[in-house]
């Protein structure tokens, strides 16, 4: 949007902010609060004084009493998988979301799946939504002549619905059936399971990694495993595909819409099926090459430039 020459005025709260890439843009620090206090009081007061200006909210939340605004809402995981969130987080979004979504003049979400989910839960007309897909950072690219290493990669999260408990159980079955490819887990280790000592030589928990380290991990993996039970979009599989890595993913929520026929699908509730998928993709180089190629074609459908152009057109018509 900025590169397209659009006239944007960024309103930000006080405090330390990363504004890299916005050096030549109009930026105003508003008020003295942060978080929801800033969002619900100081931000709308400032916008109200800027008569005729449309407020664009890109963080899945917005002031509840402004109408001249367009608001993004990624998904409703906080409703579908309550176990992954604190009661305070769930209460805040269940209270605020129906108010700011119904009052906003337009709603942005990331997939047809999320559009129908949000519309159904909050009784909002489908025509109020605009689909603006996510995309992948340009740094995630296929490495020429990359050397495939002998590991499956998964990117962890402490949220229960990411389904890492079942992934590790499926991997235990894989090892019991003679599988030898390691499982490498990057990111925050989920608190609801711990490393099994019997698998200590096969499962490697890396913890949080830098973006550059993650890009390298994607590029060298034999396959990327994505067992999540619910996603409004699902960026990690696309990152893996952009890096030229075949993907096996859960056939639920928005994943079939986003990934189509470019991955090996499995039922994320069925650990035996997950195990069979690991065995297949591990033992068949031609299968991996096929899904590597399909993945590169699939991820090319998405770009931040395309998504930004949708938002620009939405702002122009509102």
What Å distances lie between residue 211 and 124, 138, 143, 147, 194, CA to CA?
37, 12, 15, 19, 25
pLDDT at site 312? 94
198 — pLDDT class (breaks 50, 70, 90): low
Mean pLDDT, to the nearest integer, of 100-114? 97
**DSSP assignment of 285-308:** HHHHHHHHHHHHHHHTT--HHHHH
Rounded CA-CA distance 288/262 in Å is 11
Could you tell me if 93 and 197 lie in one domain? no
Answer yes or no: is 140 within a domain: no
Same domain, residue pair 179 and 295: yes
State the CATH number of the domain containing residue 24: 3.40.50.2000
Domain-embedded: residue 51: yes
User: Do 166 and 289 fall within a single domain?
Assistant: yes
Distance from C-alpha of 140 to C-alpha of 137, rounded to nearest angstrom: 6
Give the H or E element holding residue 182. Answer: strand 182-187
pLDDT in tens, 223-260: 999 999 999 999 999 999 999 999 999 999 999 999 99
In a domain, 257, yes or no: yes
Is 111 among the domain residues? yes
- Cβ atoms 273, 267 nearer than 8 A: yes
Is 3 contained in some domain?
no
Q: Are 156 and 258 in contact (CB under 8 A)?
A: no
Task: Report the DSSP beta bridge partners of residue 109.
Answer: 131
| Structural domain count, the chain | 2
- Do 61 and 85 belong to one domain? yes
Residues 9-38 pLDDT 10s: 889 898 877 777 777 788 888 888 889 999
pTM listed for this prediction: 0.91
For 183-232, give the DSSP string. Answer: EEEEESPPTT----GGGTTTEEEEES--HHHHHHHHHH-SEEEE--S--S
Segment 252-304, tens digit of pLDDT: 999 999 999 999 999 999 999 999 999 999 999 999 999 999 999 999 999 99
Q: Are residues 307 and 221 in the same domain?
A: no
| Token couple for 137 | 């950072």
Mean pLDDT, residues 116-145: 91
In a domain, 143, yes or no: no
Q: Do residues 295 and 246 lie in contact, with contact meaning Cβ atoms separated by under 8 Å?
A: yes
- Which domain, by its residues, includes 164? 151-299
Calculate the average pLDDT of the chain.
90
């Amino acid at each position: 949007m900025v590169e397209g020459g659009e006239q944007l005025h960024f309103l930000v709260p006080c405090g330390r902010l990363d504004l890299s890439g916005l050096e030549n843009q109009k930026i105003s620090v508003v008020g003295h609060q942060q978080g929801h206090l800033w969002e619900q009081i100081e931000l709308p007061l400032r916008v109200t004084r800027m008569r005729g200006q449309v407020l664009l909210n890109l963080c899945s939340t917005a002031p509840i009493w402004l109408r001249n605004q367009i608001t993004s809402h990624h998904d409703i995981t906080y409703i579908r998988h309550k176990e992954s969130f604190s009661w305070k987080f769930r209460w805040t979004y269940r209270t605020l979301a129906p108010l700011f979504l119904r009052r906003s003049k337009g709603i942005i979400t990331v997939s047809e799946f999320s559009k129908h989910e949000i519309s159904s839960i909050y009784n909002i007309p489908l025509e109020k939504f605009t689909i603006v897909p996510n995309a992948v950072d340009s740094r995630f690219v296929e490495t020429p002549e990359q050397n495939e290493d002998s590991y499956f990669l998964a990117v962890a999260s402490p949220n229960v619905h990411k389904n890492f408990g079942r992934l590790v159980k499926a991997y235990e079955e894989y090892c019991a059936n003679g599988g030898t490819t390691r499982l490498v887990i990057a990111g925050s280790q989920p608190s609801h399971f711990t490393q099994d000592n019997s698998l200590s030589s096969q499962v490697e928990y890396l913890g949080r990694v830098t973006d550059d380290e993650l890009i390298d991990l994607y590029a060298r993996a034999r396959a990327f495993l994505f067992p999540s039970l619910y996603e409004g979009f699902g960026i990690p599989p696309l990152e893996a595909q952009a890096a030229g890595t075949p993907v096996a993913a859960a056939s639920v929520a928005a994943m079939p819409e986003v990934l189509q026929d470019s991955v090996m699908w499995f039922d994320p509730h069925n650990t035996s099926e997950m195990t069979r998928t690991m065995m297949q993709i591990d033992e068949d180089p031609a299968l991996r090459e096929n899904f590597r190629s399909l993945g590169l074609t699939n991820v090319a459908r998405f770009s931040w430039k395309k998504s930004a152009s949708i938002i620009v057109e939405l702002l122009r018509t509102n």
